[in-house]
Structure 1
Amino acid sequence: MDLECDLAIIGGGLSGGLIALAFAALRPEVRLLLIEQGEEPGGNHIWSFFDGDVAEAHRWLVDPLVAHRWPQGHAVHFPGHSRRLGTPYNSVTAVHFAVSLRCKLGERLLTNARVTDMSSSHVQLADGRHIAAAAVIDARGAGDLGALRCGWQKFVGHSVRCAEPHGMDRPVIMDATVDQIDGYRFVYLLPWDDRTIFIEDTYYSDSPDLDVAAIGRRIAAYAEERGWRGSVVHREQGVLPVVHGGDFDRYWPEHDSVARAGVKAGLFQPMTGYSLPDAARFALWLADQPLDGLASATRAYAKAQWRKGGYYRMLGRMLFGAAVPDQRWRIFERFYRLDPFLIQRFYAGRSTAADRLRILCGKPPVPIRSAMRTLWNPPA
């Protein structure tokens, strides 16, 4: 059976899903299809954001997806510094995301639908179905990362159902008091309820290699040290690029006739790998665009964002090129001594000129000679 639509969105992850929700709310006349190769959209992920990451005018799009919210703020821990910050924190789980998409989209969501071919006007599925579309947008994760210079943020996460209350009342964004292994290591904690806690062991590493079994043992040891005895009820893992250089025109060639979204378009905070704020902004921008010429419009948008991200890529070069791997935590400890509003703007990708100077001024927590060599010899 062949299908026809105005907009075919390939990939039911965060970016593709938010685009579908934005169009469903703002342009219900547009016949759209969200095409996901898995059984459910969203995969196996948790996306989190600070209140300051998403503009108030855009919160209507993401707030219904939030499964957990901590209005009391969050904390960080380093060997020489601990701090509580008041900015509320939110998490979107894949299950909550999938339920929301199914409720809002109904038959406009196609799952178990693997794409074998596509162009700017058609999509071919592995089961033989052909979709004719006025516009197609590719939101299927990363493109050619060989065109970019990357470090890696990689993680394994376990949700543990504890036999007794765990005693955590707020997220811990970074606990860097743990042994430093494979670059900058920290543990990320999300208390789902009084007995269930998500424990993620995270690394800013030079390599994307992920030893899931070894990291799983470290998570178990971390929980044991804190008296959190129980069973693992959920597992996830991932590897995100921390982009500190590269060639945008190679990553997204100008002759590519298919529009892109999300990581495929390079739309994420280069230093942190955060994608939700960019995905929300992009979805609402896209819903205001004509479907004609979508490839050139989305590429121009993404290239402008790439230019704006130059400062964060420079910080990434400092982190991966100048800091001794097991001393990288010092950069983040110093950062978390700064003004909380500066920190909030940083994560949102909206650092002011004064913020940028403040982050760099003073004695750097990296060797001066290495820092200068890194800045004098930047990658493409």
Structure 2
Amino acid sequence: MNDSLHHPAPDSMAPHDIVIVGGGLAGGLIALALHRHAPDCRFLLIEAGRTLGGHHRWSWFETDLAPQARALMAGFDLNGWDEGYDITFPGLGRTLPTSYRSLASAEFHARLMAELPREQVMLETKAAQLDADGVTLADGRRIDARRVIDCRPFRASRHLAGGWQVFLGQHFACEEPHGLTRPVIMDASVEQSAPYGNEAAYRFVYVLPLSPTEVFVEDTYYADQPKMDAEVLKGRVAAYARAKGWKGEVIDQEAGILPVVSGGNFRAALAEIAIPGVALAGARGGFSHPLTSYTLPFAADNALAIARLIATRPGVSGNELAAFCERRAKRHWRATGYYRMLSRMLFEAAKPDKRVVVFEHFYALRGRLVERFYAGRSTWPDRLRILSGKPPVPIPRAIRALFSSGKPLDTKPLNTETPA
């Protein structure tokens, strides 16, 4: 690695217009949007890891993105399926028509490093402290900036309530063609059990055919605790692949634990992590879907909004940018309240081993309704339709969940390390 490309000497430079701390999805897309739409902005992207984006795969429905957001993602080497996707439940199997997209973090890193100016990206660089005037690095160096954006990972708060989405996925190179032509977004016909101990959880398998002979298989759980037994999950992924007749080599693996936020005091949660004059973005700033944990549509939308602000108001201050992002975060929180209520229904009204019934009830509804749900744009008729009909949870438990403040999120650090 050529250190001159990844570790510029900020001490000798004038203050940057913007320093972005955290080169994950949100930070990387903000940098890309600034580069394309605010070319006079002198930004710096700082990432603690060796690559941008970490080790993840982000997926979304084509209908999740507005035209400008699709244009932002157009330069990436995406996996895409235009024949729809499948879902499978004990009493339901359907093919829905919506096109689906997926992006691996390796491709995310490659595209950004090819397009962004090398001197504006710092890898393997840990930020120790952020403030309104810049960033102090772990090695003591100081980077001055007119504006700072905090895109570091999500941090659980005692002010937020909910559960967790626990997952481990493996990328197989099969010896023979696997035969799939479209993704399986949810195969919930599998045994409903948690990835640890004897506790129950909603479990499904997620499958992406990446090429005629390569397939990504992920075991996913909606669980009450942020726990992972990686060996159990690896065994279950292998068993699923064997049952499908897919023989081959595992060439990659990823795992994670994501929050499924069902309620709480968002203002207090923001205040707990906010730094005066520093803008918050990404999952850390609350920009995710409360029930699905999808982040890419919101990250792309935010990146474009920030770039437009900087392009049209190049003199906007750091405090104004921080206030702009905070307003967007609070608006997003208000707009997604319905989905947090559904999360409470899932985690508090439905018994863990019966959560599959909640999702089966949902996926029996019309495809356009499902599209709008994932995009976070459910209409009022959609919302009434989701809650109508025979309730998938006991009514007394549903009423208690409706008025519950939710179970506080576990604030212990999450351990998502898994054996290779």
CA contact (8 A) 2:162 2:344 kept: no
Q: 2:119 aligns with which of 79, 87, 107?
A: 107
Structure 1 residue runs without a partner (length 5+): none
| Residue number in structure 1 paired with 2:362 | 335
1:4-27 Cα shifts (integer Å, max 9, x gaps): 310000000000011001100000
1:230 has 2:242 as partner:
no
Does structure 1 retain, via aligned residues, the 8 Å contact 2:164–2:257? yes
- Distance in structure 1 (CA, Å) of the matches to 2:188 and 2:148: 43
Q: Deviations over 1:157-192 (max 9, x none)?
A: 000111111111110000000000121000000011
Conserved? CA contact 1:259–1:299, under 8 Å: yes
State the Cα distance separating 1:225 from its structure 2 match.
1.1
Write out aligned runs for 1:97-246 (5 A). Answer: 97-105=108-116, 106-182=118-194, 183-246=201-264
In the alignment, is the contact (CA less than 8 A) between 1:74 and 1:85 conserved in 2?
yes
Q: Distance in 1 between matches of 2:115 and 2:404?
A: 50
2:65 is matched with which residue? Answer: 54
Q: Which residue of 2 aligns with 1:270?
A: 290
Q: Quick check: 1:243–1:316 contact (8 Å CA) kept in 2?
A: yes
Structure 1 stretch displaced more, 284-293 or 156-165: 284-293
What one-letter code is carried by the residue in structure 2 that aligns with 1:219?
Answer: V
Worse overlay, 12-21 or 62-71: 62-71
| Superposed displacement of residue 146, structure 1 | 2.3
Deviation readout 1:135-157 (Å, 9 max, x if unpaired): 00000111343221021111000
Distance in structure 2 (CA, Å) of the matches to 1:82 and 1:319: 21
TM-score, with length taken from structure 1:
0.97
Structure 1 residues 282-301: Cα deviation after superposition (integer angstroms, max 9, x where no partner): 11111122441111111111
Tell me how far 1:197 sits from its aligned partner.
Answer: 0.4
Q: Which amino acid aligns with 1:49?
A: W
Displacement of 1:89 after TM fit?
0.5
Contact 1:166 1:197 in 2 (8 A): yes
Give the distance between the partners of 2:213 and 2:226, measured in 1 at CA: 32
Percent of aligned pairs with the same amino acid = 47
Residue 256, structure 1, aligned to residue 275, structure 2: yes
For 1:81 and 1:62, the matched residues in 2 are separated by: 33
1:143 and 1:251 in contact (8 A); partners too: no
Residues 97-106 or 27-36, more deviating: 97-106
Q: Does residue 44 of the first structure (1) align with residue 62 of the second (2)?
A: no
Native 8 Å contact 2:135 2:144 kept in 1: yes
Q: Once superposed, what is the RMSD of the aligned Cα atoms? A: 1.3
- Amino acid in structure 2 at the alignment position of 1:63: A
For the residues of structure 2 that align with 1:100 and 1:206, how far apart are their CA atoms? 37
Classify the secondary structure of the residue corresponding to 2:238: helix
Q: Which amino acid aligns with 2:176?
A: E
Tell me the CA shift for residue 375 of structure 1.
Answer: 1.4
- Among residues 393, 398, 401, which one is paired with 1:371 in the alignment? 398
Deviations 1:304-356 (A, max 9, x none): 11111111100000000000111111111111111100000000000001100
Which of residues 298, 308, 315 is equivalent to 2:335?
Answer: 308
DSSP 3-state at the match of 2:31: helix
Equivalent in 100, 105, 110 of residue 89 of structure 1: 100
Q: Which runs of 4+ in 1 moved over 4 A?
A: none
Deviation at 1:65, TM superposition (A): 2.0
Normalised to the residue count of structure 2, the TM-score between the two structures is 0.88
- Deviation per CA, 1:95-149: give whole Å up to 9, x if none: 1100111111122111011001110111111233211000000001113432210
Letter aligned with residue 256 of structure 1: I
What is the one-letter code of the residue matched to 1:267?
Answer: F
The structural deviation recorded for 1:66 is 4.2
Q: How far off is 1:222 after superposition?
A: 0.8
Partner residue in 2 for 1:284: 304
Cα distance in structure 1, aligned partners of 2:401 and 2:130: 41
Distance between the aligned counterparts of 1:301 and 1:243, measured in 2?
A: 18
1:68 lines up with 2:79 in the alignment? yes
Partner-residue secondary structure (3-state), 1:186? strand
